[in-house]
Chains A and B, each alone.
Chain A
Amino acid sequence: MTQLPQSTQRKLGLVIDLDTCVGCHACVISCKGWNTENYGAPLSDQDAYGADPSGTFLNRVHSYEVQPEQGAAQLVHFPKSCLHCEDAPCVTVCPTGASYKRAEDGIVLVNESDCIGCGLCAWSCPYGAREMDMAEGVMKKCTLCIDRIYNENLPEIDRIPSCVRTCPAGARHFGDLADPESDVSKLVAERGGMDLMPEMGTKPVNKYLPPRPKDRIEDQVDVLAPLLAPVAEEPQGFLGWLDKALDKLPGGRA
């Protein structure tokens, strides 16, 4: 049913720490690895070893440069996957009911046997979270690893999304964002977690933690620093003589 649930009991989602992400793309690879052999159709590649390779991914890492008004530019690695929006436009546009949002945990899924591959859900998503699989002709998207998080065959430590389990930097967190006492909710409150494109009115469940301000070298100068400052702008003594002598050689100071 492509009508959205009034509200969901839980809001399972990710919190992604832009301060911690090192841009290693491990989450991209582990996502592709897990999801190509579990829930739904495999994530196909086209011309994988040829001149123009492309393929279906549910998670991609961009990198952005942020240049503040003053100070040095900062590089921010930016993983992006489905945000499991509360007001998900991809669900309501679906003509067949293949695209749906679960009332119990808020996960947005595609029932691939109902998907006609019209692509309208991908058109409606401002985040580019959905990709049509070229081999299967159905829409693929992040399932929040629904086949891991409830999977009792896995050790408890693995019952989190593959990307979260893999992240070597601890930049990805998984939990219930409807519960204000959950670790992820506390993290969002403490670090000022933000929505992407809030003006689109999609109310994303996933939150991004902004990068912390960089340390500035001027603020860190040691009390002993003045003693380390160069004492003479112009070299004197032996160095002064050497400097002048070298200048006089052919190819010296013009």
Chain B
Amino acid sequence: MHPAPSVIIFTTLSGLGFGMLFFLGLGYPAVSGMTAFALFAIAFGLSVAGLVASTFHLGHPERAWKAFTQWRSSWLSREGWCAVAALVVMGLYAIGMIFLDQRWQALGLIGAVFSIGTVFTTSMIYTQLKSIPRWNTALTPPMFLSISLAGGALMCGQVRAALVLLLIAALVQLAYWHQGDRALAASGTDLGTATGLGPRGKVRAFEPPHTGTNYLLREFVHVVGRKHARKLRVIAFLLAFVLPIALLLLPFNHVFALLAALSHVAGVAASRWLFFAQAEHVVGLYYGKRQT
């Protein structure tokens, strides 16, 4: 898949922002006044920046409101609803905490559920696609959720929770990469099933439909060198998980905490770039691009 900056920014920042809102909704940390304002400002800033970025790849952003109509069948529509519900509920909850020194627990709980629900619905947009075997796995939602929660805990200063969640997210990430590399082969889809000619012999793409490129090739047939990808995986893993864990284990220091957060975000962004860039859409088979 084409690793579009808009979707990488969206999933990285919104994941982190909604992860923060989840912890704030549960009252970790139970802050008030200016401290609460600062934390909510960061959380809302990240979530909203991500959501705004996601509209950049739309052909007609002015019609985006229509995306709220199909919640019965579409995960993208459900994501829209969850995001708006989370932002509205958490907005009210934030007003209580910042200005009235009141923590409305029930409201916070509802907001937390919608916040994490937004991350889950985002992950389901990708998970539902059978056309992309690497995403079409039960590990995709746990990967999005664990990274979002780990980032949220890290940003909210929940050191012990962050350590455990970072460790879990790291393990899920490794499992996801391990499984992902085998997903296309395991799906059973190849040029033989794509053309229906498989039972007759070995099928090879002989001539493409045109000499130039097209939307399908640009959008779905991104090929990353394996060596390049391996290096990026190491970088992503070190930045997203190893370095933040090491920094959190050191005696607490605001500089270390800031470094841990920045390193985590950079690592998750690299991991998301790989999530898109390495995803093999089966339409590539028709163009002879997925031969192993």
What is the CB-to-nearest-CB distance from A88 to chain B, in angstroms, rounded to a whole number? 11
- Tell yes or no: A176 within 8 A of B by CB: no
22 A–B contacts from the bound complex (CB under 8 Å): A28-B209, A57-B209, A62-B207, A62-B286, A63-B206, A76-B197, A89-B131, A92-B74, A93-B125, A94-B74, A96-B77, A114-B63, A115-B60, A118-B57, A119-B59, A123-B281, A124-B129, A126-B194, A134-B215, A137-B60, A197-B194, A200-B189
Q: A69-B201, A97-B69, A117-B59 are in contact. Are A199 and B193 (CB under 8 A)?
A: yes
Q: Which residues from chain B contact A63 at a C-beta distance below 8 Å? A: 205-207
- Tell yes or no: B266 within 8 A of A by CB: no
- Tell yes or no: A10 within 8 A of B by CB: no
Within 8 A of B (CB), among A89-131: 89, 91-98, 114-120, 122-128, 131
- Tell yes or no: A54 within 8 A of B by CB: yes
Would you call B204 and A127 a contact (CB within 8 A)? no
Would you call B73 and A3 a contact (CB within 8 A)? yes
- Tell yes or no: A64 within 8 A of B by CB: yes
- Tell yes or no: A36 within 8 A of B by CB: no
Would you call A197 and B206 a contact (CB within 8 A)? no
- Spell out B's residues near A (CB within 8 Å): 1, 57-61, 63-64, 66-70, 72-77, 80, 125, 128-132, 187-189, 191, 193-197, 200-210, 212-216, 219-220, 281-283, 286-287
Closest 8 CB pairs of A and B: A117-B59, A137-B59, A128-B283, A60-B209, A68-B201, A95-B67, A96-B66, A95-B76
Q: A125-B131, A132-B215, A197-B194 are in contact. Are A138 and B59 (CB under 8 A)?
A: yes
B284's nearest neighbour on chain A, judged by CB, is: A128
Q: A92-B73, A96-B67 are in contact. Are A67 and B201 (CB under 8 A)?
A: yes
What is the CB-to-nearest-CB distance from B250 to chain A, in angstroms, rounded to a whole number? 43
How far, in whole Å, are A184 and B127 apart by their CA atoms in the complex? 36
What is the CB-to-nearest-CB distance from B81 to chain A, in angstroms, rounded to a whole number? 10
What is the CB-to-nearest-CB distance from A205 to chain B, in angstroms, rounded to a whole number? 15
Would you call A66 and B213 a contact (CB within 8 A)? no
- Chain A contact-residue range equals 35 or more
How far, in whole Å, are A199 and B210 apart by their CA atoms in the complex? 28
How far, in whole Å, are A122 and B125 apart by their CA atoms in the complex? 13
Within 8 A of B (CB), among A4-32: 18, 25, 28
Q: A116-B66, A195-B196 are in contact. Are A132 and B131 (CB under 8 A)?
A: no
What is the CB-to-nearest-CB distance from B134 to chain A, in angstroms, rounded to a whole number? 13
- Tell yes or no: A237 within 8 A of B by CB: no
Q: Which residues from chain B contact A52 at a C-beta distance below 8 Å? A: 212-213
- Tell yes or no: A208 within 8 A of B by CB: yes
Q: Which residues from chain B contact A194 at a C-beta distance below 8 Å? A: 196
- Tell yes or no: A174 within 8 A of B by CB: no
